[in-house]
Chain A
Amino acid sequence: MYCELANKLVVEAKRTEQLNSRNNARTTLPVHNDELVRDILNEVTQLKKNLEFFKEQQDIMSMDGASVDSNVMKCQYFVNLLCLERNKRCLLGYQKLRSDMLDSMAWENNGMDVMGSDLGEENSNLTHQEQEYLKKYSELITDMKSGELTDIDLSGSLTPPREIFIDVRVLKDAGEIQTEYGVFNLIKDSQFFVRQSDVERLIQQGFLQKI
């Protein structure tokens, strides 16, 4: 039966969706199921051939003026077409879910090039095209952040600010940072009282934790 593979892919997509709705931390993209997608694409090629074959047959039949079996022919053709449509939808659905997740990853990373950062091992979960996409989208975010909206810091926190100054604990050594209120040397396990907007980025990147 056609499209069973596509169903598998959607089930996998559903699982990915669930996993990511559960932990509200960073978006994590599971590995791209190359094999399954390739198998589905093979099926698509087969269906495509069938479709052409049916079309030819129809042409021959209509030339002969035979319309007796037209209905029956249509059915084969339709089943084929519907299978193709279904495969298309499932493939796109899978890809769309992944690209949406890439989008949120790009926002979480503040539009910085994710490739160059320490997310290296996660990148192996992406296909070549997805990497390309992520890179481009990150560039787009960077561009959006500059220009008229520079002061707004579009990729900043989406929780309403409560205090300007917060206590933070350093989770990973991050070296020295320079703020309006002086220089902080961020050594692991130390605590600081800093302006939230100054360290927003470091919190997002997991260097600091708000306490």
Chain B
Amino acid sequence: MGYYDIDDMLTEGSEIPCKFLQDIPGLGYLENNPGKPIKANAKLMLPYWLAHILAAIDNIPLSEDSMTVDDEEEPVPFLEMSTPESFSQRVINAIKTDPKSLDLHSINPHFYELAIKWCAIYSVKDLAKVVSELLLQRSQDINNFAYSMSTQTKNIDSIGTMSNITESKPNNLLASSSFLMTLDELEKYVYRTSHESYKNSKRWMYQNK
């Protein structure tokens, strides 16, 4: 998480359904209507990086020399975000029924990161619970995969001596690669890390006899 974090930039690029609460001239280009104003109640998809700011600000002075803030005026944010498809009831139900076989990557490749942001803004405790449970469930599978992959690649690494414990089947490899395709970026990171550490600990154990 940082300014130069590529994954974070991609997460912020996720589109969120938004509804404008005020008429705003000149923003028609946001809904492919350049030159026209955007009307209150207009609904459109906006990337998170734009939407979450517009949903948060209402009366912020532009710069030091601009007009003073009207205190009397009821502050109304420019727009309102609604729950993105990634966290819709449909997805939540799917998560609850079968967390392990879910193709999370196709739902959102940055599912967890967006969930963290979303939960932080709206403090949705339910979602937070579901998502952390989801990761817990799935990480067991990820861990198993990382482990079995590390025993399979052992032959390639020519560590020897233990090579007859698991014989690598091409089927397995195929299954695992399709499994990996369903992981979101955070899960892939978890997978990579655990795979690496399994490999390293193996190497360490067998090289020291």
Contact = CB atoms under 8 A, between A and B. Distances in A.
Direct chain A–B contact by Cβ atoms under 8 Å: yes
Interface of A: 1-3, 7, 10-11, 13-14, 17, 21, 58, 62, 67, 69-72, 74-79, 82-83, 86, 89-90, 92-93, 96-97
Contacts of B78: 75, 78
A58 B62 contact: yes
B54 A93 contact: no
Given A78-B53, A82-B50, A72 B62 contact: no
B192 interface: yes
A58 B66 contact: yes
Q: A interface, by DSSP: helix, strand, loop or mixed?
A: helix
B27 A86 contact: no
Interface of B: 3-7, 9-10, 12-13, 22-27, 29-30, 32, 47, 49-50, 53-54, 57-60, 62, 65-67, 70, 73, 78, 192
Contact of A3 (B7, B10, B26, B47): B47
6 contacts: A1-B29, A1-B30, A74-B60, A75-B54, A76-B25, A86-B50
Contact of B6 (A10, A58, A86): A10
Majority SS of interface residues in chain B?
loop
| Most chain A CB within a 10 A radius of its CB, from B13, B23, B27 | B13
The 3 closest A-B pairs by CB, nearest first: A96-B4, A10-B9, A75-B24
A82 B4 contact: no
B53 A82 contact: yes
Contacts of B65: 62
A62 B67 contact: yes
B206 to A, nearest CB: 14
A45 B79 CA distance: 27
Given A67-B70, A83-B50, A72 B7 contact: no
Contacts of B54: 75, 78-79, 82
Given A79-B30, A82-B49, 10 more contacts: A7-B47, A11-B10, A21-B192, A58-B66, A62-B66, A74-B62, A79-B54, A86-B50, A89-B3, A90-B9
Contacts of A67: 67, 70
Contacts of A2: 29
Given A13-B6, A14-B10, A17-B6, A75 B67 contact: no
B98 to A, nearest CB: 28
A13 B4 CA distance: 11
A169 B126 CA distance: 60
